[in-house]
Structures are given as structure tokens and as C-alpha cells.
Amino acid sequence: MSVLVTGGAGYIGGHMVLELLDAGEKVVVLDDLSTGFAWAVPDGVPLIVGDFGDMALVDEIVRAHQIDAIAHFAAKIVVPESVADPLLYYANNTAKARNLLECAVRNKVKHFIFSSTAAVYGEPKTNPVTEDVGLAPINPYGRSKLMVEWMLEDTAKACGLTYAVLRYFNVAGADPKGRLGQSTPQATHLIKVAVQAALGHRKGMDVFGTDYPTPDGTCIRDYIQVTDLVRAHVQALAYLRSGGASLTCNCGYGHGRSVLEVIKVVKKVTGIDFEVRLSGRRPGDPAALVAGADRIRAVLGWQPRYDDLEVIVRQAFEWERRLHNRKGG
């Protein structure tokens, strides 16, 4: 049997492919290469360039490759873009996921692993935020993902498929073996932006908001290393295959760091000082978002290996340097 990874040429999906291969799994990648890269897919792994919402294509792949599980990573992920163009997000993240799920059901795919997000919680009243608090996404991105969570829940009840919904907090870092990292040129994520500033690939950086109700006034997030994150997916797959019940869990370490703390670590790890501008708030940013991370440990036996911001930043920095060199600087 094989695992179909949608978005397997992208950042998190690409790391999932590596982790599955390392675990001895057979993998097939479906990616439209809109933000992913063909070079990110290892030799020997079939890469089908196409749309995960194309049911005829997905039917064909599932039958040809004896797919028993789908790990669905392909998605639009930029919150401000989702506010500006919500229908794009509902079409891509929600409607196409419905089609994918229909293909899974009619081809009797047994398990579905879904990349969800902490954005389903919106502005949590308390932190750490556990899985069973009320869900109140504040932007179309979070809503587009939450609807898929609901579809999965209903479909699993009706059809016997089992699923794992994994709600990511702030994913960062790169493959410890140096094979892959965050490669999107216009990435907006804090650690990526900060290492680009350190390398001089952008002129300094902004801190968005210094008047939040946090100890240093800047936002707090729970940064989870990407290999730790994808290992949770592989463990979730093993759990479902061994008969485990469908599961929804947070993916984070359970503690947070502020924007200023992250920047300090980037300067320390790289040994490079760069300009940091204290700017106004970015719309839609919750003050703090930290995972209640007990369930993932209890149910999957997951243990992080890279719960160290210095390690995460070093990986991101080294990847950024390698990426720049491969492009010819």
C-alpha cells in the first residue's frame, strides 16, 4: 500500500514525504507546483503534477497506486490573502477538499490525515489552548480549514474511514539532514523573515506590534520544528492503521516565545546584527497562541526532539543560506 501526499512538493508536505520514506513507506505526491517545487520531491517518488480537487485524476492515482491513506497538505495558507479573496480559500481549501474526500470514500481509502491550523481557535481567551475549547476562527483561512474538519467528522461517521486532524501552531526550522526547508520566496513567517534579514536578503525587518498584553508587548507563539511536526503525522498514521479512533490534536510544544525573543535568538545564533523596526500591529494577529499539547503525547506517544529555539533557528538559517547558494546567490 502507498500513502498519497497532496502538497508533497511544499514545505511541510515535503518534510512528510522524507519522514514517510525514512519510515519505509511507499509514497506518491500530488502537487500542482503553484508554491511547491519539483526538486523537493526525492528521486524515485512519483510526482503527479495536478489538482487535488480533480476527481478523475485522484480516482486514477488512488487505484493505480493502491492508496490506503491520504495525507492532505495542499492548501492556500496566507491569512491576509484569505481576507482579501475568501472565495479563493473556500474553493481551494474547502470545496476541493470535499472532492478529495469523495474520492477517498468511493475508493475505500481507509485513513485521512488533515493539516489543520491553530487559526481555528481565533483569539483564544486563555492559553495554552486545548482541543476542546470553542472554535471561533476570525479569518476565512481558519474557517476554510474548520469546515474540512467538520466534513471529515461527518464523513467518518457515515463511511467508516478514520482520520487525524492535526492543528498546527507555528511551524519552523528545516530538515536536520539539510535536505529541505522553507523555500517560498515571499514567505511572511517570522523566523524565515528574520534569517533573511540576517543574511542581508532583505533590508532589516519589522516587529508588528509592541503594545500587546504580553510581558514585552510583542506577540507570543508556540514554534514547532517541522520534522517533529511531520513525525506526529507518521505516528498518527500508524495509530489509525492499528485501529485507533479518529483523532483531533494540537501540534505544538506547549510553551511560547515572543517576537522580540525570537529575534534575539536569531541574532545570537547567526552572530549577525540587523535592523529591527518597531512597527504597528498587523491586522488579525492574536496576542498569544500556545498549544495545549498533552493529547498528542498521550494518544500518539509523540516526543519532540527539537524543542529548542536555537536549534530551530540554526536549521532555518542554514537552509536559507543553502537555498540562496543553489539559486546562484
Residues that bind ligand UFG (CB under 6 A): 77, 79, 117-119, 141, 170, 188-190, 193, 205-208, 219, 221, 259, 282, 285-286, 289
Angle, in degrees to the nearest 10, between helices 96-106 and 140-159: 20
Judged by DSSP in three states, 315 sits in: helix
**48 or 129, CB closer to ligand UFG?**
129
**117 or 235, CB closer to ligand UFG?**
117
Cell digits of residue 65? 497506486
| DSSP for residue 52 | T
Q: How many residues does the chain have?
A: 329
At its nearest, how many Å lie between ligand UFG and the CB of residue 145?
A: 8
Whether 141 is catalytic: yes
**55 or 287, CB closer to ligand UFG?**
287
Nearest to 41 by CA among 10, 69, 64: 10
Calpha distance 167→156 (Å, rounded): 18
**Alpha helices by DSSP H, the chain:** 11-22, 55-64, 79-84, 86-89, 96-106, 140-159, 190-198, 226-241, 259-270, 294-300, 309-326
**104 or 276, CB closer to ligand UFG?**
276
At its nearest, how many Å lie between ligand UFG and the CB of residue 273?
A: 17
Catalytic residue among 89, 121, 141, 168: 141
At its nearest, how many Å lie between ligand UFG and the CB of residue 208?
A: 3
At its nearest, how many Å lie between ligand UFG and the CB of residue 189?
A: 4
Contacts 24+ apart (CB under 8 A), 200-203: 200/274, 201/320, 201/324, 203/275
At its nearest, how many Å lie between ligand UFG and the CB of residue 329?
A: 23
Tell me how many degrees the CA angle 173-167-90 measures, rounded to the nearest 5. Answer: 105
**50 or 284, CB closer to ligand UFG?**
284
**47 or 172, CB closer to ligand UFG?**
172
Calpha distance 228→251 (Å, rounded): 9
Number of residue whose CB is nearest ligand UFG: 219
At its nearest, how many Å lie between ligand UFG and the CB of residue 192?
A: 8
Judged by DSSP in three states, 288 sits in: strand
DSSP string, 68-80: EEEEE------HH
User: What stretch of H or E contains 301?
Assistant: none
Q: Which residues are catalytic?
A: 141
